[in-house]
Amino acid sequence: MIGRLNHVAIAVPDLEAAAAQYRGALGASVGAPQAEPDHGVTVVFIELPNTKIELLHPLGDDSPIAGFLEKNPAGGIHHVCYEVEDIRAAAARLSESGARVLGDGEPKIGAHGKPVLFLHPKDFNGCLIELEEV
């Protein structure tokens, strides 16, 4: 059901510093900051030959990333994103297997302009999973 790894998301306390580190120290291709108000985050994508890194920073006080950074002030891996061909079929299959889809179960449009869903980390060995329809 899942396809390729789309990205690994890292929550960071300082988006500008993190982007500069990837650009300078690692020589990576770093995109511009992109506000995602529906998800409460500002993101920066780092393009790699085989996947992407997504830097996440809180957008507003209600951001889920703000809570994550309170518990992990230095930042850290927040989630991994896998591609799926049909997000509604994937959600139905996962629900039938006992996995919990977060939120109201309806896909939202993600940072790439495509439908996304998140799966409860307690159902996946402590890892928050994002699914993105391709």
The mean per-residue pLDDT over the stretch 107-113 comes to 94
Domain coordinates in residue numbering, the chain: 5-133
For a pLDDT cut of 70, what percent of the chain falls above it?
100
- Answer whether 52's CB lies under 8 Å from 46's CB: yes
Instruction: Give, for 30, the enclosing helix (H) or strand (E).
Output: strand 29-30
The mean per-residue pLDDT over the stretch 106-120 comes to 95
- For the CA atoms of the chain, what is the radius of gyration? 15
Q: Helix, strand, or coil here: 67?
A: helix
Q: Helix, strand, or coil here: 10?
A: strand
- Answer whether 103's CB lies under 8 Å from 91's CB: no
CA atoms of 11 and 57, how far apart (whole Å): 6
Q: Is the pLDDT of residue 61 over 90?
A: no
What's residue 31's pLDDT? 98
CA atoms of 9 and 54, how far apart (whole Å): 4
Q: Can you read off the two tokens belonging to residue 125?
A: 């060995």
CA atoms of 34 and 57, how far apart (whole Å): 10
Across all residues in the chain, what is the average pLDDT? 96
- Amino acid identity of residue 32, one-letter, is A
Q: Which CATH number fits domain 5-133: 3.10.180.10, 3.90.950.10, 3.40.50.1370, 3.10.105.10?
A: 3.10.180.10
In 3D space, the residue among 81, 76, 37 whose CA is nearest the CA of residue 58 turns out to be: 37
Q: Is the pLDDT of residue 84 over 90?
A: yes
Q: Is 70 a catalytic residue?
A: no
CA atoms of 17 and 86, how far apart (whole Å): 36
Catalytic residue among 16, 36, 47, 130: 130
